[in-house]
Amino acid sequence: MTTPTLLPDGEPRAGGLRHGRPKYLEVRGLTVAFDGFVAVDNVNLDVVQGDLRFLIGPNGAGKTTIIDAITGLVPATGSVNHTGTEILGRKVHKIARLGVGRTFQTASVFENLSVLQNLDIAAGPGRKARELLRRRKGVDAAVQEALEIIGLERAADKQAGTLAHGQKQWLEIGMLLVQNSEVLLLDEPIAGMSQDERDETGQLLRRIAASRITLVIEHDMDFVREFATSVTVLAAGKVLSEGSVAQVQADKKVQDVYLGTAGMEGH
Amino acid sequence: MSTFLRSRWGVLAGFAVGAVLLLVAAPAALSVFNLALLGKFICFAIVAVGIGLAWGRGGMLTLGQGVFFGLGAYIMAMHLKLADASLFGGSGVPDFMSLYGSGEVPGWWEPFRSPVVTLLAVVLVPGLVALVLGLAVFKRRVKGAYFAILSQALAAAFAVFLIGQQATTGGSNGLSGFRSFFGFDLKDPSNKLMLYSIAAVVLLLALAAARQLMHSRFGELLVAVRDQEERVRFLGYDPATIKTVTYVIAAVMAGIAGALFVPIVGIISPADVGVIPSIAFLIGVAIGGRATLLGPVLGALSVAIAQTSLASTFPSFWVYFQGLLFVLVIGFMPGGLASLPRLVSRLKQRNTEKRSTAPASAPQVPASAAPTTATTATTVPEEASR
Amino acid sequence: MELLIGQMFAGLSLGSVLLLAALGLSLTFGQMGVINMAHGEFMMAGAYTAFVVQRSISDAGISLLVSIPVGFLVGGLLGLALEAVLLRRMYHRPLDTLLVTFGVALILQQAARDIFGAPSVDVRAPAWLQGNVELLGAPIPLTRLFILLLSLVCLAGLVAVLKGTPLGRRIRAVVLNRDLAETSGISTRRTDQLTFFIGSGLAGVAGVAVTLIGSTGPYLGTNYIVDAFLVVVAGGVGQIKGAVIAAFALGVLQSVFEFSTTASIGKVLILVLIVVFLQLRPQGIFSLKTRSLA
């Protein structure tokens, strides 16, 4: 048995991996309408393995709805292709099993269970019935590694509900890691974190993104500038601009949308 | 002490003590009559173990357990009736059928002449009904409140159905007057002791099964589903499967309990299986502590004992008392008596905080910091599944 | 043909009682998530109100007309008390409200039994409601026609309140988004109380109505509560339109099934139908569209 390596070597880069056949997430014509209101309008989006893509845009631009649509939470039309497999229209848990994982704006961990139990559940959808009916013995290697990565080894037996806010967000990321998702969709992972916690989270994202398809929704432009390898700007449900941080910041359309909202500079 | 109780040997010792109490001490101390009464209570306790799993751990408000209890009971009763009719009547037709009906045994009774079919059906029929209803409700993500209402409607419909079929189910009188149980004379005290012992062993087995489930990965997953069903879905599990499995287990336990109830008590009627008895199953579970292992059993036994001693002497008072129990326990102590130590320690804590004129920045101990272990999630969630 | 029309009308009449009972349930369920099992006992209280009023006003016609508003008040006040004492601290535990209110229902049943005795009592119908009218050759009892009209009047009144008054706007706002309503300055406390008052009051009226077609006993509510809940489930929580359609559909189906099979098999068939229906529309006929995870 080889020790699992949740953390690859290397850094993410714009455009993703340059060797072999990188995995990808290809979104085409994605449209979500609620009762006639079009929240996501014909969105095309490509994220390649090894790219750390940030999704930014003003409030109500449809960022979270895109993730909701990709993960099957809201019905959508169009196509979402994960490395050759169409995932749109499948059930939420089937999509998750195809290697698409997500986090939520408000950290949602199982508060009545311990940190270890949270991670163990995340690691286990492939378990057989017989394994499920047995008591957990020891700690899975992947779970142990995730505990170390997210810095919660000493809190392993603590109830997740008693964790600090930032720790809950990290626990969620840890759950994504042990879930072995190839596609990571993170919804505002640093909301409510201190500056130190943000930096650590950013470093963590850089480390895990090198071998995964990563899409992060974020508002904080300082954070985006520091850690993104590429950025997609969304406004009113449509893709406005795409490219490196510098490119989108120089884009006239983007500046127009953000004018007066003070979104691009500062907070 | 508490670590010993949680260790493997502690658990085994606990079961051994329970077994000695139930199988040796109780038969020695109680009269034949009271032993049968305890046997009846044990049947309710078996139902309670299943409710504790489905409701306490799984967050499914099962208001229709009377249906599964009734299915098991009626299947057993039908077999006993048919067996009696062949043994004593010779005609093979149960007495009440010639009284109310055509005097012929309906086709759907016939399979239950066979003891093997009966024993299988006691387990399989409640399990299948729960499977179908569970899949229909949970797969389509019907709300938790809807599930509660549907399971209650099932109990109502089941009771009305039984009452309506006077000629084949005995109507509101139900089925009674059994004389033998798989060839054993039901009047013989030693056979009564045997029946009681079977019920006690089944209760111990149900407890063992529930404990294994609660402490397994499945049990952890079940709590996760109870607290955050959607989140579990995004981890790649289908919560519907987890809930249905648990619901089926609870239904099977209720079915077996019903089948034991019939020879021990000697009658089953729609009054034992409708809406009211179905909800009444829950109060004992709530009092003992719905999310714990032993709480439901002890709660169900206490309520049954209280009911027997109070209901006949003060019928009106008993109903008020039962109503108040629902209001007070569910409303003000949702964790049941099992949560009492935690409530007390929290109160004490609050008092000491008041007394010590600590500054506002004193370290706040979270409410859930009371001793809990990683392997037991006994707390009742603030947000029971919606 | 006459038989069929008679059955249809019996169904509509049953549906109108179910509607009166379900409107209040649907309101409180939709707004607060409360599953009020004591709602049936509020009906029972309304029925006994009609009985008590008739003891002091001997004219059956006047006593009926007086009983309707008094029944509304009695039901409403009971609801208000229940909300204030118990339910308001339980809004975050919707499933547990079902069990708490079941306890309340047990207490109210026993109280009625101790006050009025176990045997049923009868309320006389006024002379102008005795007899039948002919509809396409089928005899239609006037009492049932009256109940149908009464429920339609209550429905119209409720819709007028919900759509046309500031209170109604507040109720609808709280149903749609409680937190937002609160932050926009709506007193959700007051709104919850008023909703409970109106919803429970309607149960009281339903109780007065059923005295016209049957006798009144301590367990009157238990006959209606489960079916009323099924109406709410099938209609969609908090949806008046859905409740109307579901109530009449359930009433008619029930009487058709009873007619073509037996009452007991009819009950089972209805339940099967509802479960099948929920496979197609898990949220009921109509549903609120929100973005929340739950």
Residue whose token pair is 């009023």? C53
pLDDT of residue A267: 42
What is the structure's pLDDT at C270?
Answer: 86
Asked if residue C28 is part of any domain, the answer here is yes
Whether C130 maps to a domain, the answer reads yes
- For residue range B103-157, what is the model confidence (pLDDT) as tens digits? 788 888 989 999 999 999 999 999 999 999 999 999 888 888 889 989 999 999 9
**pLDDT above 90: residue B383:** no
Query: Helix or strand or coil: residue A44?
Result: strand
Is the pLDDT reported for residue B359 higher than 50? no
Identify the residue whose tokens are 């480390």. Answer: A207
Q: Which residues of B touch C94 (CB under 8 A)?
A: 144-145, 384, 386
Note whether residue C291 is domain-resident: no
* Residue contacts between A and C (CB atoms, under 8 Å): 4
What are the pLDDT digits (tens) for B293-347? 999 999 999 999 999 888 888 888 999 999 999 999 999 888 888 888 887 887 7
Is the pLDDT assigned to residue B365 strictly greater than 50?
A: no
pLDDT of residue A262: 46
pLDDT at C280: 82
- Alpha carbons within 13 A on the beta-carbon side of B218: 22
Q: Look at residue B340 and tell me if it is in a domain.
A: no
Q: Is B159 within the bounds of a domain?
A: yes
* ipTM score for this prediction: 0.88
Residue of B nearest to C276 (CA): B136
Q: Select from B215, B196, B171 the least CA-distant residue to B74.
A: B171
Mean pLDDT of B208-215: 93
In a domain, B310, yes or no: no
The predicted model scores a pTM of 0.89
For residue B385, give how far its alpha carbon lies from the nearest alpha carbon of chain A (Å).
13
Q: How confident is the model over B157-188, as pLDDT tens digits?
A: 999 899 988 888 888 899 998 999 998 988 89
From chain A, the residues in CB contact with B227 under 8 A are 110-113
Decide if B220 touches A, using CB distance below 8 A: yes
pLDDT at B357: 45
Q: How confident is the model at residue B356 (pLDDT cuts 50, 70, 90)?
A: low
How many structural domains does chain B have? 1
B217 CB neighbours in chain A (<8 A) are 120-121, 124, 127, 131-136
Quick check: is C260 in a domain?
A: no
User: How confident is residue B206, by pLDDT bands cut at 50, 70 and 90?
Assistant: very high
CA distance B335 to B378: 8
When divided into structural domains, chain C yields a total of 1
User: Is C241 within the bounds of a domain?
Assistant: no
Q: Could you tell me if C68 and C20 are in contact, meaning their C-beta atoms sit under 8 angstroms apart?
A: no
Residues within 8 A of C (CB atoms), B 208-267 only: 230
Mean pLDDT value across chain A: 86
For chain B, give the mean pLDDT: 86
Q: Which amino acid type is present at position C86?
A: L
pLDDT at A230 over 60: yes
pLDDT digits (tens, 9 = 90+) for A94-141: 999 999 999 988 878 999 999 999 999 999 888 888 888 888 888 888
**Per-residue pLDDT tens over the stretch C258-277:** 877 777 788 888 888 888 88
**DSSP class per residue in A86-133:** E-TTS-HHHHHHTTEEE--SS----TTSBHHHHHHHHT-TT--HHHHT
Residue A266 has pLDDT above 60, yes or no: no
Task: Return the amino acid letter for C17.
Answer: V
User: What domain range is B159 assigned to?
Assistant: 17-277
Q: Which chain C residue has its CA at the smallest distance from B135's CA?
A: C279
Query: By the CB < 8 Å criterion, does B30 face chain C?
Result: no
Give the model confidence (pLDDT) of B29-61 as tens digits. 999 899 999 999 999 999 999 999 999 999 999
**Residue C179's domain spans which residues?**
2-221
Classify residue B1: in a domain, yes or no.
no
Query: Would the pLDDT of B8 be above 70?
Result: yes
pLDDT attached to residue B354: 57
CB contact under 8 A, B384 and C96: yes
Q: Is residue C273, in this structure, part of any structural domain at all?
A: no
Check pLDDT > 70 for residue A264: no
Closest by CA to B190, choosing from B43, B79, B35, B80, is: B35
**What is the mean pLDDT, run by run of 10 residues, along chain C of 294 residues?**
79 91 89 90 96 90 93 96 90 89 95 93 87 78 90 93 87 81 81 91 95 91 90 84 91 85 81 85 70 38
Cα separation, C46 vs C74, in Å, equals 7
In this predicted structure, what is the pLDDT of residue B353? 62
Per-residue pLDDT for B291 more than 70?
yes
Q: For residue C158, tell me if it sits in a domain.
A: yes
Alpha-carbon gap, residue C168 to C162, rounded angstroms: 4
Binding-face residues of A in 145-164 toward B, CB within 8 A: 156-157, 159, 161-162
Mutation to test the A interface, candidates B235, B376, B379, B385, most A Cβ within 10 Å: B235
What pLDDT score was predicted for residue B4? 66
